[in-house]
Chains A and B, each alone.
Chain A
């Protein structure tokens, strides 16, 4: 199952490299494997991602940051203090270091899609992930 998921994710990721739409599909897939004990209400600093995830059945897209419980952050310069109470998923590996409460990242490394979930951070934030995401779990940000 794990390998199937991985293959699916990588396949999606490979396709995603050519299109933002596919990046959205990967994000959608990742978030369908994540649970925070309540309905996922997602907000992003990227209007493209907000628009792309609009039709997802797994979670709700909110237009106001205050209504969200998960933030997908693309750029560090948009970081606000209001984010501190929210779970943060970043789209750049370096943001994982810059934003200590960010729990995971989807980014491109040398043309290949990479996913990282920081285990201590999701535990701290009471975020649970399905087994399918275990291969992407890291103890720390390297």
Chain B
């Protein structure tokens, strides 16, 4: 929207411009009419005097028509007598007084010239061009000619001499005045001033218009994402003061495993999928809704509350289903993508929109953790959790040493023994209740507290395992890997304890956005050189990037739980897991199946030669390091 001050300036200048034009026009008009106005009374007096003279002469001489008049004035004495009478009217302003008659050929001729200078002869032709001379004959009415560029003449007054309702001649007076010229000269600077002022005002108006146009043009660029054509975060900031949260629900949308599409098919394909997905989003909402590309493959949707017939959850579900059912075709590839959505239906209950967005984002995180491709609505249950488990909750836990690790065994069913343990973070709340990471990690995303928490976990795990011969896995995401403090913590410990290094596996969270493979590989190589191993976590669902896995030269592939949990019932999942196992063997990697929650799943996995198993069926995570006999 155009800023108010620009609009105010524009309309003020426009008003001023119109006023100045009106004034200028008025001055111009006054200028052109000034002489007429000044001389108006004089002309009226002249008209009366002419009428008197005419009446006397015409009556005296019994003149009936122009021929009689010509005949009468052809007499030199009579003419001179009349000239003397008319000459009495001459003044410094009335320069010439003469009588003209129209001859048979329509030319005007002097019958009498009372002027003191430039006197014309009787019946001498007088070339006139102005149609008003003929108009006098036609209309029988006096005419005034405003002269231009003619000596110093200002006006010519043409007075008809009418006899028997016929114009028989014209009494003509040429009027001149220096007074008017002086006035006009005085007005001239004023006129020039107004012209300059008007030009200046219109320049300002033009500049304001250009500024407004420029504002509109740049506004589109500033507030629009060029790839998707959607609004960007700048727009959100712009509308924030005017946004009434009472009318909206907030949804955070994120394309699942989008990075894999970029890595597998290239960024052009990724851009295409983003653009097409945006179109589906746009087509699934109304004009009153606001869709913003929040960043990367993340979108913020402000859903304007409709009537009770359709809930905002249904709208989100419709979007999710539409994306799921759409196959994007690009460059001979058919690409399927899913979307996870976090929804906050009552954002007005939060302190501000940022808080509401944060909650919707947290719901998105929950959707991702629960297997993606789903809509999670913020509920009272979440509300109760979120009230206590924010950043400060983690900060306090770190300060009060309430962070601890649980360990879940990773089982080698071929040997019937625990192969290693996965370390899993937990926080003990002030009431002694164990809080799972799902409840506090979303709040920490990209915060310094997240890194501090990771450092703490590393310290706990290193301390727990440095004095035994057991192996352990530690989860790290990409941002952890490239954080200098975390890297220093790892290197400091593993360089001085090579034995521990050989027993540590770092699990890279596959779902995390890895946007610099070269950097990741560099960090991974550093760890591998110390003897540590690398595992890819959550591999197999969506579009896992095989190339990245091969580039990193991971030691383990941990197959995503969403593929494992129904493997005993779902033949497709079974085939996918089998393919992953085969791929891993080809690439000389060991496989780990997580989410082994039942005997059926366990038995099914035994048939496809997965190397290691992990899950509640074998053992839930435990605060202590379990032994073989404590399993199952």
Residues of A that sit less than 8 Å from B by CB: 6-7, 10-11, 13-15, 17-18, 93, 108-116, 135-136, 138, 142
Contact = CB atoms under 8 A, between A and B. Distances in A.
A29 to B, nearest CB: 14
A115 to B, nearest CB: 6
Contacts of A112: 126-128, 150
Contacts of B235: none
Interface of B: 96, 98, 105, 107, 109, 115, 118, 120-129, 147, 149-151, 153, 174
Contact of B150 (A6, A111, A114, A136): A111
Contacts of A115: 127
Given A111-B174, A135-B107, A14 B150 contact: yes
A11 B149 CA distance: 11
A111 B118 CA distance: 9
Residue of A93, A112, A115 with highest tally of chain B CB at under 10 A? A112
A111 B153 contact: yes
A93 B149 CA distance: 22
Nearest to B151: A111
Contacts of B120: 109-110
Contacts of B118: 108-110
Main secondary structure, interface of B, reads loop
Nearest to B172: A110
A78 B152 CA distance: 31
B127 A114 contact: yes
Contacts of A142: 109, 121-125
Contact of B129 (A10, A108, A136): A10
Contacts of B123: 142
B70 to A, nearest CB: 12
Contacts of A116: 125
Contact of B127 (A15, A17, A18, A113): A113
Residue of A6, A108, A109 with highest tally of chain B CB at under 10 A? A109
Contacts of A111: 147, 150-151, 153, 174
A115 B107 CA distance: 12
Given A135-B107, A142-B125, 16 more contacts: A10-B127, A17-B150, A17-B151, A18-B149, A93-B124, A108-B118, A109-B124, A109-B126, A109-B127, A110-B115, A110-B174, A112-B150, A114-B126, A135-B105, A136-B125, A142-B122
Contacts of B147: 111
Contacts of B105: 135
A14 B149 contact: yes
B43 to A, nearest CB: 18
A133 to B, nearest CB: 12
